[in-house]
C-alpha cells in the first residue's frame, strides 16, 4: 500500500511539472519589442529585426508556422528602414498566412505609397 502512495505522489508531482508546448516559438519577442517601443533607435530596431528572423526561421511548436503579426510588423519595419522590396514581400506573406490581415495591410501600403 505504501508503494501505491509513493507512486500517486510521484504522478501528482510529474503532472504538475510537465511543460505544455505552445502554439508558437517567440524567441525574446517581449523584451525586443519593449526596447523598440521605448527607444526606436538603430540598436533596438536591429535587435527586433534579429528576433523576427529567429521567430520566422525556428518554428517548431504546435502550429509550425509563423505567429500572427510577425511577418506584418517585420515587413513594416523593413519598409521604414528603406528595404521596400523585402518589406512588401513580408506583408504579402502575412496576407497569405492570415487572410484577415488584408484589410489593414492594404491600408498601410497605401499610406506608405503617399
- Interacting residue ranges for other proteins, rule: CB under 8 A: 1-2, 5, 8-9, 12, 16, 22-24, 26, 29-31, 33-38, 62-63, 67-70, 72-73, 76-77, 94, 98, 100-105, 107-108, 111
Q: Which is nearer to other proteins, 30 or 41 (CB)?
A: 30
The nearest distance, CB 51 to other proteins, in angstroms, is 12
Show the CA angle centred on residue 35, arms to residues 31 and 36, nearest 5°: 115
Whether 69 and 55 have beta carbons less than 8 Å apart is answered as: no
Burial 27-64 (b: 16+ CB within 10 A, else e): bebeebbebbeeeeeeebbebbbebbebbbeebeeeee
Q: Which is nearer to other proteins, 54 or 98 (CB)?
A: 98
The nearest distance, CB 23 to other proteins, in angstroms, is 5
Distance, CA of 69 to CA of 39 (rounded, Å): 21
The nearest distance, CB 78 to other proteins, in angstroms, is 12
Q: Which is nearer to other proteins, 54 or 108 (CB)?
A: 108
**CB atoms < 10 A from the CB of 83, how many?**
15
Q: Which is nearer to other proteins, 33 or 92 (CB)?
A: 33
The nearest distance, CB 84 to other proteins, in angstroms, is 16
Distance, CA of 25 to CA of 75 (rounded, Å): 19
Amino acid at each position: 500500500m505504501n508503494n501505491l502512495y509513493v507512486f500517486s505522489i510521484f504522478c501528482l508531482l510529474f503532472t504538475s511539472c510537465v511543460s505544455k508546448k505552445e502554439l508558437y516559438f517567440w524567441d525574446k519577442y517581449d523584451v525586443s519589442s519593449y526596447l523598440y517601443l521605448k527607444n526606436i533607435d538603430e540598436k533596438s530596431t536591429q535587435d527586433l529585426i534579429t528576433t523576427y528572423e529567429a521567430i520566422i526561421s525556428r518554428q517548431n511548436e504546435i502550429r509550425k508556422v509563423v505567429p500572427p503579426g510577425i511577418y506584418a510588423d517585420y515587413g513594416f519595419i523593413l519598409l521604414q528602414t528603406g528595404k521596400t522590396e523585402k518589406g512588401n514581400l513580408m506583408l504579402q506573406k502575412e496576407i497569405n498566412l492570415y487572410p484577415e490581415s488584408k484589410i489593414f495591410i492594404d491600408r498601410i501600403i497605401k499610406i506608405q505609397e503617399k
